[in-house]
């Protein structure tokens, strides 16, 4: 039996932390850290860190839509970061850390718009949601040392301070979506 796959591309701050939050979900087959929103020539960490390439640090989620839906991934996305911070997440500042959904088709765009409208109407946030909807034109995988970074470096202070709290929040809020609901240490 062949598994159906689909992809979602999100930017919600540092890709190390966002990647870690999605890797624990049932039906998520792969999460790749990378760059989205700029061109191929500037799709590298030193250039993106300058903040002037148009790229965001993003993740590409390959998932089985029979196990987890795009709508559920959107729920996790909005829970795993602060969509009201413009061009930043916490101490990570610059347009490369913007909140963005890179939609692959009209259905993804419409679902993302509907989710943002619903969240805005809910009164959950004191500030307006600034998540951008951008068409997915290309996704450039980040350098190999960025892949699964939180998993390979769980004791690094930045991972302890930023990634692990996101992972714990997703575990607590979305226990029914976890691939392995057993709590464990680290991302």
Asked if 150 and 159 count as a contact pair (C-beta separation under 8 A), the reply is yes
Give dist(CA 112, CA 124) in Å, integer. Answer: 17
pLDDT digits (tens, 9 = 90+) for 117-149: 999 999 999 999 999 999 999 999 999 999 999
Give residue 3's pLDDT band: very low, low, confident or very high (50, 70, 90): confident
Select the CATH number that applies to the domain covering 6-177 from these four: 3.40.50.300, 3.90.550.10, 3.30.1060.10, 3.60.20.10. Answer: 3.30.1060.10
Q: Which residues are annotated as catalytic?
A: 14
Cα maximum dimension of the chain: 47
Q: Where are the domains of the chain?
A: 6-177
Asked whether residue 182 carries a pLDDT value surpassing 70, the answer given is: no
Reading phi first (left if > 0) and then psi (alpha if -120 to 50, else beta), residue 101 is in beta
Asked if 54 and 42 count as a contact pair (C-beta separation under 8 A), the reply is yes
Give residue 177's pLDDT band: very low, low, confident or very high (50, 70, 90): very high
> Closest Cα partner for 20 from 165, 176, 142?
165
Give residue 183's pLDDT band: very low, low, confident or very high (50, 70, 90): very low
pLDDT computed for residue 67 by the predictor: 96
User: How does the average pLDDT of the chain come out, rounded?
Assistant: 94
Asked if 95 and 86 count as a contact pair (C-beta separation under 8 A), the reply is no
């Amino acid at each position: 039996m062949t598994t159906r796959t689909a992809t979602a591309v999100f930017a919600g701050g540092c890709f190390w932390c966002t990647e870690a939050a999605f890797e624990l979900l049932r039906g998520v087959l792969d999460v790749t850290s990378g760059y989205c929103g700029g061109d191929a020539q500037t799709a590298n960490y030193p250039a993106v860190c300058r903040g002037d390439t148009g790229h965001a640090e993003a993740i590409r989620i390959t998932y089985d839509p029979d196990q987890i839906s795009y709508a559920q991934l959107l729920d996790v996305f909005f829970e795993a970061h602060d969509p009201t911070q413009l061009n930043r997440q916490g101490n990570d500042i610059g347009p490369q850390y913007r909140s963005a959904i890179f939609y692959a088709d009209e259905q993804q765009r419409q679902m993302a718009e509907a989710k943002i409208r619903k969240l805005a109407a809910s009164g959950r946030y004191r500030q307006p949601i600034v998540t951008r909807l951008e068409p997915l034109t290309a996704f450039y995988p980040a350098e190999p040392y960025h892949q699964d970074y939180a998993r390979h470096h769980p004791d690094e202070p930045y991972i302890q301070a930023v990634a692990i709290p996101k992972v714990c929040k997703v575990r607590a809020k979305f226990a029914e979506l976890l691939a392995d609901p057993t709590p464990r240490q680290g991302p």
